[in-house]
Amino acid sequence: MTPARIPQKLALASLLIVSPLFADFRNDIGFPALQAEFGSSLPDGSNLKIAQIEYVRDGVWAPEAAAELAGKTFTYSPSTPTAFSYHADEVGRVFYGSLSSIIPGASQIHAFEAWDYFDNSLKTAMGVAPVTADWDVENHSYISDSGFSNVEGSRRLDYRVDHDGVTATVVLENGTGTVPPLFGNTYNAIVVGSSTGDHSRGGTTLDVPGRLKPDIVGTATYTSYAGPIVGSAAGLLIAKVKSE
């Protein structure tokens, strides 16, 4: 990405890096009862493709190191990393991990660095359509501000959801500040807060201000993990539909 296209891309970037205090959310949402009711007919997500978008922190952004992610097939964008992110691994655990997620069978993962996704997948500020997504669910456990491209970037994510049938979960910031520009102002993504209520609040600030957020909260103390919890629940529903 050249500075001419998004000169303010690092105007604000706030990662939601916290200890993994999501406990066993599967009990909180009644998943064992669902398993008992549906038995072997309950899908495990093996028919899903997942996208995980992560921001760089301390030079790393990619998931893979956690034991629960072993056996998954990762496609990395922009390139295969040589070091991995604790935050990305923890998000991956609740999103599609073999023990912690409710879609443990999901094994096809497209892992994006956030600004590569913004530039080369959404094609923001390029005057061309976003790349057609071939995945079912994507999660963004970060908030940021691209300056003048906030509205266009959010609209492009909305377009992806509508055009490609992707379900996107995005998160608010920890704390009670204003709704973050990316991607808290979207219409079609699911904007997620935390179960404690300690998240951004109030109305949207861009593209028709005043629309109330979050859309839903996840059963986690911090939004980084609430987002993929909601994403995994959406994935379970999609997996069931795809299996019919």
- What is the per-residue pLDDT across 75-95, written as a single tens digit (0 to 9) for each? 999 999 999 999 999 999 999
pLDDT (mean) for 26-49:
95
Residue 24 pLDDT grade (very low, low, confident, very high; cuts 50, 70, 90): confident
Comparing 23-32, 43-52, 61-70, 218-227, the range with the smallest average pLDDT is 23-32
pTM: 0.91
Nearest 10 degrees: Cα torsion 226, 83, 167, 127: 130
Residue 202 banded pLDDT, cuts 50, 70, 90:
confident
88 vs 74: CA distance, rounded Å? 13
The number of CA neighbours under 13 Å toward the Cβ of 33 is 4
Going by their DSSP bridges, the two strands 49-54 and 137-140 should be labelled as parallel
> What is the 3-state composition of the chain as percent helix, strand, coil, each rounded to the nearest 5?
35, 20, 45
Specify which residues 52 forms β-bridges with. 111, 139
What mean pLDDT comes out for the span 196-208?
93
- Residue 1, pLDDT > 50, answer no
Chain centroid, CA 137 distance in Å: 8
Half-sphere exposure of 123 (CA within 13 A, CB side): 10
Mean pLDDT of 13-34: 67
